[in-house]
Every structure is written in structure tokens, then in C-alpha cells.
Amino acid sequence: MFRRICSSIATSVWSTSMNVEAVLTTQAVTGATVSVQQCRNRAGYANKWMKRDVKRRELSKQFNNERIRLNAIRKDDFLPRELKDLATHDIKQLPNDAYPTRIHKRCVMTSRPRGLVNRYRLSRIQWRLLADYNKLSGVTRSTW
């Protein structure tokens, strides 16, 4: 189950669950919003890496509270060693994809992993393409 992205790209946090099936909503300094439809194939994702990244984001969100509690137990100096060992054992039982370090920033339109403009969550190529045709509010070409 994926959530619809309702918050603006400028204030969104990368650790939140990314809905690749939703329409990308951007908001710039002026406050105007523009909707851009994502590129999708038959499976609903740009490619298999986007699908894998979405799965990792969902798992990370699902196990986040449990991981925080277990790490707090592991790092507490006043608890007995046996309890810390149990917490270590439990945290090793979590799925590997549930760790937030396995989440990578990707373009929400093309799933490109490099050259991201973080404010818009778009690759530099898609960002420039949309900015050239005034699809991003608050973005102007520099002239001098």
C-alpha cells in the first residue's frame, strides 16, 4: 500500500515513503503548484531499481520504531549484558532491506540515481527539461 504524496517536494523528507504511482506535485518559492505525470511501464515503475527502492522505503518505514527501540537497548550502559545480547539478536533478525542506509535517492520520473536536484527530487536532465518549458514554478533561466 503506497501513500499519495501530498506534501511539496521542497519540504519532503527522503526517508518518507515515496509513492511512485502518484502524480508528482511540486511547489516552489512562489507557492504555485504544478503536476507532472511520472513515466511508467506496464509494471507501474520506471524500472526494476525504482521498484526495489520503493520496497526498501516501505520496509524501512515499517521497522523504523522497532529498530530505534532495539538500538536504544543495545547502547544502554545500565542494562545487563544478556538483555543487550537479546536486542542484538533481534535486530539481526530484521530484513536487510529494512535499514535506512540501503535507501538511495532516485529521480521520481526516470529512477536515475545520480545528478539529483534534491529540492525537486528530479534528475538534472528532467529538471532542465521541465524548467525550459516553464513546468516548474519559481524557476527562471538566468540572463545577463
pLDDT at 73: 95
The answer to whether the pTM exceeds 0.95 is no
Q: Mean pLDDT, to the nearest integer, of 94-106? A: 91
Q: Mean pLDDT, to the nearest integer, of 81-101? A: 93
* C-alpha R_g of the chain: 19
pLDDT at 33 over 50: no
24-132: CATH topology: Helix Hairpins (1.10.287)
Which DSSP helix (H) or strand (E) runs through 123? strand 122-123
Per-residue pLDDT tens over the stretch 51-79: 899 999 999 999 999 999 999 999 999 99
